[in-house]
Structure 1
Amino acid sequence: MTDADTTTTATTDWHAWQTSWDRQQEWYMPDREERFRIMLDMVEALVGRAPRVLDLACGTGSVTARLFARFPEATSTGVDLDPALLAIAEGTFVGDDRVTFVTADLKDPDWPAKLPHESYDAVLTATALHWLHSEPLAVLYGQIAGLVRDGGVFMNADHMIDDATPRINEAERALRHARMDRAKRGGVLDWAEWWQLAAQDPVLAEPTARRFEIYGEHADGDQPSAAWHARVLREKGFGEARPVWCSPSDTLLLALK
């Protein structure tokens, strides 16, 4: 079900778009699936195998897809503002009554009122909240704390940069970009090229145009350290918060209510 605009699913291959999005994201994050696996490990460890999940800034529904593959009895509410990515999510999950999609701006203070439930076992998000600057992100963390039930979890998998280690950061970035350049020669689509293809699709062209009206080319927020995220989450009402997985550039941070 959805409260967003829907399009006829017969005119485009939604699963192909979903796969294409995954491949594009994996070019930037080759350990993306490992992040998802650990995220779902911690869901199972802390709230069980049939959780009610809020997929925050859900995009094409990547988290929800992996959630259902591992936990068929789970339910999910996907929230996003991007009309193109939501169109892919809606098309991918059409007819699946375990998921509801909601169009909402996470910077709108009233966005939680659009949700179908007042509380969730787990709120999950991946590679999304770095679009926000620190001040609105801290406000959002307070809202998330109000949505997670006691004993529930919030997990954010994203770029979290420690500015206290500039030489390490630069060496990691140089190696990662060298590997990306080699992969690019193999025909991998980058972010800009993927969106160019979406803009040419008869069904996605209109929502893609609306998407760029909303966001522009790219919204560059902040990428504070994992320590900042953990501290703010505790300040906003979580009892515990720490990384449960990291790579040289990304962190999966878990907060327990």
Structure 2
Amino acid sequence: MADTVAAAPHWTAWQDSWDRQQEWYLPDREERFRVMLDSVEALVGPEPRVLDLACGTGSISARLLRRFPGATSVGVDRDPALLAIARGSFAAEPRVRFVTVDLLDPRWTEALPHSSYDAVLTATALHWMDGAALRTLYGQLARLLPDGGVFLNADHMPDESTPRLNAAERSYRRAARQRAKDAGAQDWADWWRALAADPALAEVTAERFARYGDPSAGDDHGDDPMYPPAWHAAALREAGFDEARAVWCSVTDGLVLALK
């Protein structure tokens, strides 16, 4: 099967700027993606049907299709602005489709084009959900995966049992980010301000702001509940997964794998 069809320059530019903005927060981002896709290949093979959960601009799908020409992906999200970039970027790509869903809607899985998936993948996307919502979601995902199917969640997963280590990491990372910012890097708020100023995306970005708030006013994830990898692994086992554990971590972030 042919490689991913190149996106139009306008969409490529927004994908690139999204990646750079995310890397400002997550310098290990590409390593997390590598471990995620290694795990997919090891457990379900090189031609998986994937659900890209809370897909944003389609970062996981892009890397999945580059690595696995025989893979297919369904990306789901509720953010109209990020989905506009995703749909524009993959408009000529038959291996991926995008569906608007709200993961807090108890019937969101009914909007999916397939009843089961080999793998469900998500990255830096579920930390806004509280524990009860995550437990519900994990149960829904367990029902979407067959025996042998895999779920991988890469996200902020700090461990509050190491306060001195956490404080040192925050200080180090804050200084590194400031140096990058001084050199012209965009943070979360900068990126959304730039998106709102793009005439082609101004209307859909305004729709996003009206629905979910204006992230260009600052970091709108500061009060999100966040849980350590062990919490996620335990919740996934309770939700119906046979095995669950962290397969990668940094001081602040983790990648938890759950196997049906």
1:90 shift after superposition:
0.4
The residue that corresponds to 2:156 in the other structure is: 159
For the 8 Å contact 2:47–2:72, the answer to whether it is kept is: yes
Deviates more, 1:219-228 or 1:192-201: 219-228
Runs of 5+ in structure 2 lacking a partner? 1-6
**Equivalent of 2:26 in 29, 33, 36:** 29
| Aligned-partner Cα distance in 2 for 1:36–1:83 | 24
For the residue of structure 2 that corresponds to 1:244, the secondary structure is: strand
Within the candidate set 14, 19, 26, 2:16 is matched to: 19
Corresponding position: 1:104 with 2:101: yes
Aligned residues between the structures: 248
Tell me the secondary structure at the aligned position of residue 91 of structure 2: coil
Q: How many angstroms does 1:15 deviate by?
A: 0.7
Q: Secondary structure at the match of 1:206?
A: helix
Q: Which residue of 2 aligns with 1:233?
A: 236
Structure 1 stretches lacking a partner, 5+ long: 1-8
Comparing 244-253 and 164-173, the one that deviates more: 164-173
After superposition, the C-alpha distances for 1:188-217 in whole angstroms (9 at most, x for unaligned) are 011001000100111111111111222213
Question: Counterpart in 2 of 1:223?
Answer: 226
1:39-188 superposed matches below 5 A: 39-188=36-185
- The separation in 2 between residues aligned to 1:70 and 1:122, in whole angstroms, is 15
Alignment deviations for residues 38-87 of structure 1 (CA, whole Å, 9 cap, x no partner):
00000000000000000000000000000000001100000000001000
The alignment partner of 2:37 has SS state of: helix
SS in 2 for 1:242: strand
Question: TM-score by structure 1 length?
Answer: 0.94
Contact 2:159 2:252 in 1 (8 A): no
TM-score computed with the length of structure 2 as normaliser: 0.93
Report the Cα offset of residue 138 of structure 1.
Answer: 1.0
For residues 132 and 212 of structure 2, what CA distance do their matches in structure 1 show? 18
Q: Which amino acid aligns with 2:152?
A: M
Residue 160 of structure 2 aligns to which amino acid in structure 1?
A: D
What is the distance in 1 between the residues matched to 2:32 and 2:180?
A: 21
Identical-residue share of aligned pairs (%): 65
Give me the whole-angstrom Cα distance separating, in 2, the residues matched to 1:149 and 1:213: 38
Secondary structure in 1 matching 2:206: helix
